């Protein structure tokens, strides 16, 4: 039996999302740009799916633009914001614990002459808003700060960042990677004060291959793809109707059950923390809380990749960090400046609305067995 604790990497697709995709592929498969009735019906469906997604986000439908994934949304937001502000300066502020979909584009921009300031978290993965205020300059044109860290579960001070930008009077646009925050912590883009915000389908029980970018009304973001004029002329190309249908279904249903789902995940997270302290006392929790679905721990002295493989043999799936690292050391855990044994043993447990107490039983049993059967390293 599979006991899945890597929901921050991807989630199982909910049956309603599967059904929505199947219907889009088998019944409403017309091209939304076609002018005959069958095409116009498809266009009407896309309009409805956009409205459903916007309702879940708490914004206007015309502020939602569908993409292929959260990484695309992040890249588009960064490039678009800098093009808009190209005459205002070349300074960017971000954090050292952003997803690679933000940090890698910024590294490329540094090679093109941009200056990037990376704010460092404290030992618990948290950021002091005063750090951002101190980093802002008259030539700061972009601030990119995630809402929920994908490895630590910490909630970053995005709302405070918006206030700091306004107080500083600099021209910076504020982008937020909300991929891990969407339907996990309550927010709307307006409440956060952001100009651009990225979300992804496969983190909310929709399929891979679909995401969205929120663009604040009135912000004239440059097109990502030029062509036939789809997505308001900003991202041309025939709409991926099956993925969009599934994304909208997952967003609609997830928004309706969000309060109950997050309460359940928080309860399971707290239960896991309590049982670890009692049954696997060697395990240490690395953050003080925040998002309900992510719990980073460490087994000091045990290599995380070895523990992950050992647990896999027990039917328990978790990770040693972001799936995007592909086995490389996590820059997020490294940013906490942990002692080497803690860093080497870092693991990420992540829950979903599908996680059960039986899953937690299997996790605790597996971690206890790992501690008893594996040999610790000398690092």
Residues annotated as catalytic are 324
Angle (CA) 185 353 279, round 5°: 100
Task: Say which residue the tokens 């009135």 belong to.
Answer: 218
Residue from 152, 245, 247 nearest 202 by CA: 247
State the Cα–Cα distance between residues 367 and 302, nearest whole angstrom: 11
DSSP for 45-107 reads: HHHHHHHHHHHHHTS-GGGEEEES-HHHHHHHHHHHHHHHTTTT--EEEEETT--HHHHHHHH
**Collapsing DSSP states into helix, strand and coil, what is residue 239?**
coil
State the Cα–Cα distance between residues 13 and 207, nearest whole angstrom: 6
State the Cα–Cα distance between residues 253 and 260, nearest whole angstrom: 12
- Neighbour order of strands in the sheet with 140-144: 64-67, 211-215, 196-200, 173-177, 140-144, 91-95, 115-119
Residue 204 is encoded by which pair of tokens? Answer: 């909310």
Query: Which residue intervals of the chain are DSSP H helices?
Result: 15-26, 37-57, 70-84, 100-111, 129-135, 158-168, 189-192, 241-256, 258-279, 304-313, 331-335, 340-344, 357-373
Fill in the DSSP letter of residue 5. Answer: -
> Is 117 within 8 Å of 91 (Cβ atoms)?
yes
């Amino acid at each position: 039996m599979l006991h899945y604790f890597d929901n921050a990497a991807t989630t199982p697709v909910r049956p309603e999302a599967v059904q929505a995709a199947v219907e889009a592929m088998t019944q409403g498969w017309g091209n939304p740009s076609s002018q005959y009735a069958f095409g116009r019906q498809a266009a009407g469906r896309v309009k409805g799916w956009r409205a459903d997604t916007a309702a879940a986000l708490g914004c206007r439908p015309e502020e939602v633009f569908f993409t292929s994934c959260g990484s695309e949304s992040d890249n588009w937001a960064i490039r678009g914001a800098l093009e808009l502000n190209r005459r205002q300066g070349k300074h960017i502020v971000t954090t050292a614990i952003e997803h690679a979909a933000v940090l890698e584009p910024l590294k490329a921009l540094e090679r093109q002459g941009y200056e990037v300031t990376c704010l460092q978290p404290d030992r618990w993965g948290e950021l002091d808003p005063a750090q951002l205020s101190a980093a802002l300059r008259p030539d700061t044109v972009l601030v990119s700060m995630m809402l929920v860290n994908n490895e630590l579960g910490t909630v970053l001070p995005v709302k405070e960042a918006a206030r700091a930008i306004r107080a500083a009077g600099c021209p910076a646009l504020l982008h937020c990677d909300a991929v891990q925050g969407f339907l996990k912590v309550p927010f709307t883009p307006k409440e956060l004060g952001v100009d651009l915000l990225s979300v992804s389908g496969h983190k909310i029980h929709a399929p891979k291959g679909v995401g969205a970018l929120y663009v604040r009304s009135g912000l004239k973001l440059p097109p990502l793809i030029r062509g036939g004029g789809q997505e308001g002329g900003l991202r041309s190309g025939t709409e991926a109707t099956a993925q969009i249908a599934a994304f909208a279904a997952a967003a609609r249903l997830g928004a309706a059950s969000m309060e109950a789902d997050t309460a359940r995940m928080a309860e399971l997270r707290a239960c896991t923390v309590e049982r670890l302290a009692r049954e696997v006392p060697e395990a240490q929790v690395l953050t003080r809380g925040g998002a309900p679905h992510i719990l980073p721990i460490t087994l000091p002295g045990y290599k995380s990749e070895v523990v992950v493989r050992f647990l896999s043999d027990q039917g328990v799936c978790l990770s040693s960090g972001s799936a995007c690292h592909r086995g490389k050391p996590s820059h997020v855990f490294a940013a906490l400046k942990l002692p080497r044994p803690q860093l080497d043993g870092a693991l990420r447990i992540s829950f979903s609305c599908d996680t059960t107490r039986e899953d937690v039983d299997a996790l605790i049993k597996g971690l206890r067995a790992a501690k008893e059967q594996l040999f610790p390293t000398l690092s």
